[in-house]
Amino acid sequence: MGAGIAAYKACELLRLLTESGHDVNVVPTPDALNFVGAATWAALSGHPAEVSHWAEVHEVRHVRLGQEASLIIVAPATADLLARAAAGMATDLLTNVLLAARCPIMFAPAMHTEMWQHPATEANVATLRSRGAIVLEPAVGRLTGADSGPGRLPEPDELFRAVMRVLARGSAGLAADLAGRRVVVSAGGTREEIDPVRFLGNWSTGRQGYALARSAVARGARVTLIAANTGLADPAGARVVEVTSACQLREAMLEAAPGADAIVMAAAVADYRPAARSPVKLKKTGAGPDPIRLTENPDILQELSGVREPGQVIVGFAAETEIVLAQAAAKLAAKGCDLLVVNQVGGGLGFGAVDNAAEILAADGARVSVPSGPKEALADVVWDLVASRLT
């Protein structure tokens, strides 16, 4: 834990981890104790919060902690701490532990925007990512004082989710197979306005797209999440762009796509929108409603496939009430994507549900069946297939 005002959030993260059954050792930098004292960390973790590598020398604590850990999360990770970690320095217990670690390491940066965007910090982050460390993108929001911008520590519950995704991968988490990759994920359901109070929409909650974003972060990717009307908390480590309509989603996806290694279109996009939006609320007239003329929305997935860059992997989603593989194969060919995830909705699956099941069809003829299970499990299968296709 670095010396930043966001250290108070780490108390809640520690509580979430210990209450879920994990044994947590807190290793603050000496200056971090100016924000939250050693007694607090000891009380919450059940272990002393040591800061010096001279403590308990007979146990070789500075090496043992790194050797025995399943995961190290540095939260908050200040600009100074990122710099020392990138340089391989060992000036206190924490940096010694980082050097001795043979487990996944996750950094959750927190600092003022100017510090996060400084070329030195950008270079240090790039160095750490090149070594397989997971460096989360900071959240955007209120910082110390009146400042606001990128540099805010993600909320503890989302950091907890990120930690759990890395731990769920076990030894596979060491590989960080998406490290250095940039991915774009869409999530949620678009809304097409009829008037200021009504819209055409669908039941998508965005949970599958958010599971995809969290899993990609846990595998080391830099994630841009285009979110349509989800109402969900921003996943830790992902840059979130909020949109409402299909046209807004198209614009955001086309803007984010250049330079991306993979694009996953998990959002449920409305096929049609009203040809004209009423500027005022439509009223009952007693003579029955006037018909609403519809116009077709753009096919975003097909358009992304048509302008793809060399080596870019594109994944589409198709929610169906029944899965007919012949129709799914035809849709895969028509969309021009590399993978099509066909998931059945209804019967406790799909929109709004905790679990999902799918058939994943590949342009090269491969097919993978994913049985009903948590949406995070489906997300990992998708990223396994994407990673195997990235050059």
**Could you read off the pLDDT tens digit of each residue along the chain, which spans 391 residues?**
788 888 999 999 999 999 999 999 999 999 989 899 999 999 999 988 887 665 665 555 667 787 889 999 999 999 999 999 999 998 899 999 999 998 999 999 999 999 999 999 999 999 999 888 999 999 888 887 777 788 899 999 999 999 999 998 876 656 678 988 999 999 999 999 999 999 999 889 999 999 999 999 999 899 999 999 999 999 999 999 999 999 999 999 999 999 999 999 999 999 999 999 999 998 888 777 788 899 999 999 999 999 999 999 999 999 887 777 888 888 999 999 999 999 877 666 667 778 888 999 999 999 999 998 899 999 999 999 999 999 7
Cα–Cα distance, 376 to 355 (Å, whole number) = 9
Alpha carbon distance 47, 129 (integer Å): 30
Kind and range of the H or E run holding 339: strand 339-344
Give residue 347's pLDDT. 65
What pLDDT is attached to residue 349? 64
Beta strand 134-135 with 105-109 is parallel
- Where along the chain do its domains lie? 7-174, 182-276+293-389
First CA to last CA distance, the chain: 36
Catalytic residues: 202
Q: Would the CATH topology of 7-174 be identical to that of 182-276+293-389? A: yes
Tell which CATH architecture fits domain 7-174. Answer: 3-Layer(aba) Sandwich (3.40)
Q: Are 184 and 263 spatial neighbours (Cβ–Cβ below 8 Å)? A: yes
Say if CB 218 and CB 169 are below 8 A apart.
yes
Q: What CATH code is assigned to 182-276+293-389? A: 3.40.50.10300
Predicted TM-score of the model (pTM): 0.86
Indicate the helix (H) or strand (E) that contains 184.
strand 182-188
CB-based contacts of 361, cutoff 8 Å, min separation 6:
325, 328, 329, 332, 339, 340, 342, 367
Taken in order 119, 120, 124, 127, the sign of the CA dihedral is positive
Which residue type sits at 152?
R
Alpha helices in the chain (DSSP H): 7-19, 38-45, 61-68, 79-87, 93-100, 113-116, 119-130, 156-168, 207-218, 246-256, 300-306, 325-335, 375-389
Looking at residue 135, what is its pLDDT?
92
The answer to whether the beta carbons of residues 277 and 193 sit under 8 Å apart is yes
